[in-house]
Amino acid sequence: MSEHKRINTIIVGAAGRDFHNFNMVYRDNEQYDVVAFTAAQIPNIAGRKYPASLAGALYPKGIPIYEEKDLEQLIVMHSVDEVVFSYSDVPYRRCDEYRFACNCSRSAF
């Protein structure tokens, strides 16, 4: 791994598209550190982890899944640089709410 700081990232999504995007882009990518997933559409998923067996060698403890309502707190707690939007079925207005929350917390969206 290079000496550069990894980009702390949260992926917000629906426990499908977000996991797929993680596997395709972030799983073995040493530039990024996915510190959390958030979810709102699947009951009782918060408090679980995306398993280490699927997350790959960079995530030996898996990746925690949090309630989406905690996004702003998570951004601050993990010094998040970037929030990745991984929904495919959300109205533009809601997308804009995510962007606003990220901008207020000084992370890219």
**Could you write out the three-class secondary structure of the chain?**
CCCCCCEEEEEEECCCHHHHHHHHHHCCCCCEEEEEEEECCCCCCCCCEECHHHHCCCCCCCEEEEEHHHHHHHHHHCCCCEEEEECCCCCHHHHHHHHHHHHHCCCEC
pTM of the full structure: 0.82
- Predicted pLDDT of residue 78: 95
Task: Say what the pLDDT of residue 44 is.
Answer: 77
Q: 10-37: per-residue pLDDT in tens?
A: 999 877 888 999 999 999 999 999 999 9
